[in-house]
Amino acid sequence: MIDEQKYLKTWKHEGTILFADFGAKVSDKVAGFDMDSTLITTKSGLMLAKDSSDWVWWDENVPKKLSEIHENGFKIVIFSNKAGVEMGRIDPIDLQQKFTQIYESLKVPFQIICATSKDANHKPSIGMWKYFVSNCNDGIEPDKSQSFYCGDSAGRPKRKDKNKDFSYCDRQFAMNLGVQFYTPEMYFQELEEILPPLEFDTNTLKSLEGQSPTEEEEKYTSEAQEVVVFVGAPGSGKSTFWKNYLKDYVRVNNEILKTKQKCIEAARKILKEGKSCVIDNTNPKIEARSDYISIAEEFKVPCRAFYFNTDKNICMHNNEQRSINPNRNHLSKKTPRLIINVFFKNCVVPTQSEGFTEVKVINFIPGPFESDDDKETYYTY
Ligand SMILES: [Mg+2]
């Protein structure tokens, strides 16, 4: 009989971190593992475990390999995304019982850290690792050159008998940490795998830093009064661009004003006062933009379109930042991913033939950052 009561006491719930230590000793060599479909899988064959005993080792080599790596002086730490806890789909007590059973079966010490919400602790963000370094290793900084992380979400396409990976969050997590990454096939079955390039990674984003948003460095404001219509997906960098370069222009925004009619009235009022305005909405369609062109004509001022040519993956990334990065005052709230997908489906790239005096293509450049923490959170999501 497993004495579950004994182990249940070892669990700590701090914020959105759930942590337990099954006797693991301090080490600067960390062997990090994902849990589901990496160390274990369901006995029932269901995607989600029925209860705490619905598990088997992912591969018969798992216990042996874990024992070996422990003997070699590594500290085994499981980093598991468990946002289902916050959503009410996973009972934390069930989870705790499951790990007790895993430990009883394995008899190898390990630590387990779960992220119970989709916040900065959720992989690929590195919150769980930071928690580990500050609270779970007696202040000993892990040696990243010797440590590694193994998980099944690696962005792999459909293979012979296996489905496409759900995501690449494990691979990105290892990349964000700067440690060697293995899939369970590589680590436990010693298979060679060639991983496809990631469709998005933050290193590509980093390489854009310091570049100019347009072909040539220029001034984006105009001496004369005008209307600027932004065209770009949520997360494409529109509002930040306004803040960085067009701050003297009055910003008209649907999220604040709620209706198109109110945006139109606001634009009229601004022009009447002799000021320039920016229509900081997504404006994917010609019809949505034509109203603003008409208003500019009415006031006999030029109307320019700024088209935010930002890759969809970058928009998704920026959108996520609105909920996980508390370092910055985000001008908009996080939007459902679907809204971004719909924008890309519907967007008609603006042209001068619609009546714009000029169409400027704006490329996305990361930053400026509020602090080092802001920057780190931005690139390690
Ligand atoms: Mg997994």
Report the separation in Å between the CA atom of 66 and the middle of ligand 1, taken as the mean of its atom positions.
Answer: 17
CA of 381 to the centre of ligand 1 (A): 17
Residue 206 in domain: no
For residue 214, report the distance from its CA to the centre of ligand 1, in Å.
41
Distance from residue 37's CA to the centre of ligand 1 (Å): 5
* pLDDT score, position 245: 94
Task: Indicate if 274 and 370 belong to the same structural domain.
Answer: yes
* Alpha carbon distance 50, 48 (integer Å): 6
- The string of DSSP letters for 152-219 reads S-S----BTTBPPPS--HHHHHHHHHT-EEE-HHHHHS----PPPPPS--HHHHHTTTT--SSSS---
What's the CATH number where 125 sits?
A: 3.40.50.1000
CA 152–ligand 1 middle distance (angstroms) = 5
Residues 237 and 195 in one domain: no
User: Which spans in the chain are helix H?
Assistant: 4-8, 61-71, 92-106, 127-135, 169-177, 184-188, 202-206, 238-245, 254-257, 260-272, 286-298, 312-324, 337-346, 372-379
Cα of 92 vs centre of ligand 1, distance in Å, is: 18
How many whole angstroms from 153 Cα to the centroid of ligand 1?
6
Same domain for 184 and 281, yes or no, is no
Q: What is the CA(41)–ligand 1 centre distance, in A?
A: 9
Residue 250 included in any domain:
yes
CA of 39 to the centre of ligand 1 (A): 8
| Same domain flag for 51 and 173 | yes
Separation between Cα atoms, residue 11 and residue 93, nearest integer Å: 10
Nearest to 380 by CA among 155, 201, 209, 234: 201
Residue at token pair 């001034």: 219
**Same domain, yes or no, for 234 and 163?**
no
The verdict on 36 and 119 lying in the same domain is yes
What's the farthest any 2 CA atoms get from each other in the chain?
84
CA of 36 from ligand 1 middle (Å) equals 4
Three-state SS for 239? helix
Distance CA 301, CA 267 (A): 12
CB 278 within 8 A of CB 296: no
Q: How many angstroms separate the alpha carbon of residue 34 from the centre of ligand 1? A: 6
Domain, as residue range, for 19: 4-199
Question: Does one domain contain both 193 and 75?
Answer: yes
The answer to whether residues 181 and 34 belong to one domain is: yes
Distance between Cα 335 and ligand 1 center (Å): 26
Within this chain, do residues 163 and 284 fall inside the same structural domain, yes or no?
no
The CA distances from residue 102 to 62, 78, 253, 298, in Å, are 12, 12, 53, 72
How far is the centre of ligand 1, averaged over its atoms, from the C-alpha of 184 (Å)?
A: 9
Last residue of a domain, one of 199, 215, 236: 199
Q: pLDDT per position in the chain (381 positions), as tens?
A: 555 566 666 789 999 999 999 999 999 999 999 999 999 999 999 988 888 899 999 999 999 999 999 999 999 999 999 999 999 988 888 899 999 999 999 999 999 999 999 888 999 999 999 999 999 999 999 999 999 999 999 999 998 888 999 899 999 999 999 999 999 999 999 999 999 988 788 888 888 988 899 988 788 999 999 999 999 999 999 999 999 999 999 999 998 999 999 999 999 999 999 999 999 999 999 999 999 999 999 999 999 999 999 999 999 999 999 988 888 877 888 999 999 999 999 999 999 999 999 999 999 999 889 999 899 889 887
Looking at the structure, tell me whether residues 158 and 254 fall in a common domain.
no
What's the pLDDT at 270? Answer: 97
Q: Based on the structure, what is the number of domains in the chain?
A: 2
* 43 Cα–ligand 1 center, Å: 15
Distance separating alpha carbons of residues 71 and 31, to the nearest angstrom: 12
Considering the domain boundaries, does residue 219 fall inside one? no
**Residue 211: inside a domain, yes or no?**
no
> From its phi and psi, is residue 63 left (phi > 0), alpha (psi between -120 and 50) or beta?
alpha
Ligand 1 center from residue 205 Cα (angstroms): 26
Rg of the chain, C-alpha, whole Å = 25
| 187 and 88 together in one domain | yes
> Residues 233, 193: one domain?
no
Residue 214 lies in a domain: no
Cα of 3 vs centre of ligand 1, distance in Å, is 27
**Which residues are in the CB-under-5-Å shell of ion ligand 1?**
34, 36-37, 152
Cα(56) to centroid(ligand 1), Å: 14
**What residues form DSSP beta bridges with 159?**
162
Compute φ and ψ for 313, nearest 5 degrees.
-65, -35
pLDDT at 2: 52
**pLDDT at residue 380, rounded to an integer:** 82
Among residues 180, 199, 218, which one ends one of the domains? Answer: 199
Identify the domain boundary among 199, 218, 249.
Answer: 199
38 C-alpha to ligand 1 centroid (Å): 6
Does residue 210 form part of some domain? no
Rounded to the nearest whole angstrom, what is the distance from the C-alpha of residue 14 to the centroid of ligand 1? Answer: 23
Number of helices and strands in the chain (H, E): 14, 14
- Say which CATH number the domain at 329 has: 3.40.50.300
Q: Evaluate whether residue 51 is within a structural domain.
A: yes
Place of tokens 């290892």: 174
Whole-number Å distance, alpha carbon 62 to ligand 1 midpoint, is: 14
Distance 325 CA to ligand 1 centre (A): 24
- At residue 327's C-alpha, the angle toward residues 326 and 329, to 5°, is 85
- Distance from Cα 172 to the centre of ligand 1, integer Å: 13
User: How far does residue 332's CA lie from ligand 1's centre (Å)?
Assistant: 32
Distance 170 CA to ligand 1 centre (A): 8
CA of 83 to the centre of ligand 1 (A): 13
- Asked if the structure places residue 216 within a domain, the reply is no
Distance 26 CA to ligand 1 centre (A): 25
- Amino acid identity, position 136: C
